[in-house]
Amino acid sequence: MIRERARTGIKGLDEMLDGGLLVGRPYIVSGTSGTGKSTLAMHFLLEGAANGERALYVAIDEPPNEVRLNFAKFGWNLDGVSVLDGTPDVLNYDKTPVRDVSSERKIVSLGKVGDAIRRTSEKGPTDVTVSTLQELIKQEFKERKYARVVIDSLTSLKHFYIRTSEEFATLQSFFRTLSDLGATSILTVHVPEVTRPGIESQLSRGEIRLHKWFDGRGLMRGITVEKYRGSSHDSRMRHMKIAQTGIVVPVSDGGKRKKKGDADSERTPERPTPDDKKAEPPLPPPPENGEVDIPPSQSAGRTGSAVDPKGDGGGPQ
């Protein structure tokens, strides 16, 4: 059965995902701090917006004005992405019955968010629950359906729990709500240096893991697809770069040749020459004690077709 795919907007990653994410399902993007989770998530929303889809960014880690400023450096037009301020103080400040909140709240265009730092609630975030946000998103979907949703980050959202004994059931309900709403969603998850798959990974339909580590060439980045239910995928690590215009993951040199003028093609050579090979040695395994948590096997192949991970994404960042 052929399912519709939601492209992430990062060509090499879409290739790893056999065309993109399966529509209407929740996925997680995980990695240590600064690996590019938020940036990848915004690529995904911008790709949807560019194709006329409604895209919603739920800001939990940082208020929308800071998010806009963070992404301004990539020169992206964020007008097509809507933002819901889900930072704890705002949720808490509005913690009146959700039906009241929904009539007052406004989802605004991220590109039009002002620079002013909004006030902070006097209350702490301890009264806020995942359910608050879940209900809020449901209410918003009654007004308007979104094809793509990003929750950035699920890790911060989890900190709003009062009782950790309810964590699994609450998270399960949250994932189910996102599925029921029909949106393809990405939830970002911050992981510590050494980690095992968590509840989020278990509940999601797939996990994209971002890696970074240092070697003789400086800061290196990599990307793996750790899990993808219902689809084949590339199980090897590819290089990744965060360049001036965003994330670049090289595409394989077989089959899908890019058109001239394509933004990514400027940075990803078609087929490495012997000189390229000299300049870009194969991706070295991340050190055991480095910033990469689960060094993926370099020898594993694709669960489907073979893909060459070589490209120009391997230079220091």
Ligand X SMILES: Nc1ncnc2c1ncn2[C@@H]1O[C@H](COP(=O)(O)OP(=O)(O)OP(=O)(O)O)[C@@H](O)[C@H]1O
Q: Which residues bind Mg ion (CB under 5 A)?
A: 37-38
Backbone φ/ψ region at 151: left (φ over 0), alpha (ψ -120 to 50), beta: beta
103 binds ligand X (CB under 6 A): no
Candidate residues 8, 30, 38, 235; the one interacting with ligand X per rule CB under 6 A: 38
CB of residue 157 to ligand X, shortest distance in Å:
13
CB of residue 310 to ligand X, shortest distance in Å:
22
73 binds ligand X (CB under 6 A): yes
123 binds ligand X (CB under 6 A): no
CB of residue 87 to ligand X, shortest distance in Å:
13
Contacts of residue 132, Cβ cutoff 8 Å, sequence gap at least 6: 91, 95, 98, 160
CB of residue 303 to ligand X, shortest distance in Å:
26
Candidate residues 3, 4, 33, 300; the one interacting with ligand X per rule CB under 6 A: 33
Candidate residues 30, 35, 224, 252; the one interacting with ligand X per rule CB under 6 A: 35
Distances (CA, A) of 163 to 15, 49, 97, 168, 191: 40, 37, 21, 11, 21
Six-digit token string for 106: 């406004």
Contacts of residue 26, Cβ cutoff 8 Å, sequence gap at least 6: 175, 178, 179, 185, 186, 187, 203, 204, 205
Q: How far apart are CA 88 and CA 25, in angstroms?
A: 25
Six-digit token string for 42: 């915004």
239 binds ligand X (CB under 6 A): no
Q: How far apart are CA 16 and CA 46, in angstroms?
A: 19
37 binds ligand X (CB under 6 A): yes
272 binds ligand X (CB under 6 A): no
190 binds ligand X (CB under 6 A): yes
Which partner from the list Mg ion, ligand X, none does 33 bind, CB cut-off 5 to 8 Å by kind? ligand X
CA angle 316, 245, 113 (to 5 degrees): 130
Which partner from the list Mg ion, ligand X, none does 11 bind, CB cut-off 5 to 8 Å by kind? none
Binding site for ligand X (CB under 6 A): 31, 33-39, 61, 73, 190, 242, 244, 317
